[in-house]
Amino acid sequence: MPTDKPVEKEWLCPLYSFDSDSEVVDLAEGIQIKRMPSDLAKFLEGHESDLFWIRPSDAKWMLSLPYSSEAIGDINSMFEEWDRIKKLLFNVIIALRLCHTGSVTAGPVLEAKFSIGTYTFAFKLIITQAFELRQETTYHLSQPNALDINKLLISIRKLDKEGKLHSSVDTALRRFSSSYYGGAEDRLIDQMIAFESLYIGDNKELRYKLALRTAFLLGENKENVFDDMKKAYDLRSQIVHGNEPVDKSKLEETIPKTEEYLRQSIRKFLSLLSQGYSLKKLREKLLDENILKSDGIPDTE
């Protein structure tokens, strides 16, 4: 007698403010981005009032994350699997955002069982910031982007596994992610904390050192980057110290620039750390000494 096809498990996560020119995008570690199936949309519709301020079924795309075979068993194994998925989901969204602009946001993560052409779902885990979604710009993913995203995913995983994802870099990643939410002032504060975590190891001459190191590392249009970073730091200080109201138009002009500088900075730091540079050597030798010599730095892309 023919045997039924075994039930396959995976984790599914709706993506908001997302679009792609490919029906399926294959990423590292068995991760896929694909169109949301109708049965998942219907399942989400039935739970909308209990979960979010926006409609979960509005998402047209989803992440498919591999289910660990070691997650079957005792409760400790399940908790370990949840922690793994939380980290994996964070890394995927960060890699997407580091690739280019766009307000891509993760929805709830559901355990899905696939058998004989259909899914069944269960809420085993909920992770979402979708209620804070900024509907500014849709994230467009083309198949060639997958190469950059995979490179970032592999780099982050490699550094983390080797214990080289320094707390400063981890802080920068998390603050970069946080800067996608909230009001303009909060977003700039998160961005500047991320910059300081990357570029600064002490409290001396923060404004000048941060602007100079950022401008030098990013290479092109150094004077513009230097001036923009000084202005951003001044706005940050104005917000933190609250001496006078902040000009909203200046914030709106500054934030897109600093977001892109931060995106480029994190990518370069990840690349250089993957090549074996320590954070201290990167800051003091590769940046400061080369700044004094007016030499270039290695191409990191």
- Read off the pLDDT of residues 109-149 as tens digits, 9 standing for 90 and up: 888 887 666 777 766 666 655 556 565 689 999 988 999 99
Note the residue count of the chain: 301
Q: How many CA atoms lie within 13 A of 118 on its CB side?
A: 4
pLDDT tens per residue across span 7-62: 578 899 889 889 999 999 999 989 999 998 888 888 877 766 555 555 666 789 99
Report domain extents, the chain.
Answer: 8-149, 167-293
pLDDT tens per residue across span 198-221: 999 766 678 888 999 999 999 878
Give the contacts of 192 (CB within 8 A, at least 6 positions apart): 232, 233, 236, 258
| pLDDT at position 109 | 86
Cα radius of gyration rounded to whole Å, the chain: 21
- HEC string of 221-288 equals CHHHHHHHHHHHHHHHHHHHHCCCCCCHHHHHHHHHHHHHHHHHHHHHHHHHHHCCCCHHHHHHHHHH
Q: Is 111 helix (H, G, I), strand (E, B) or coil?
A: strand
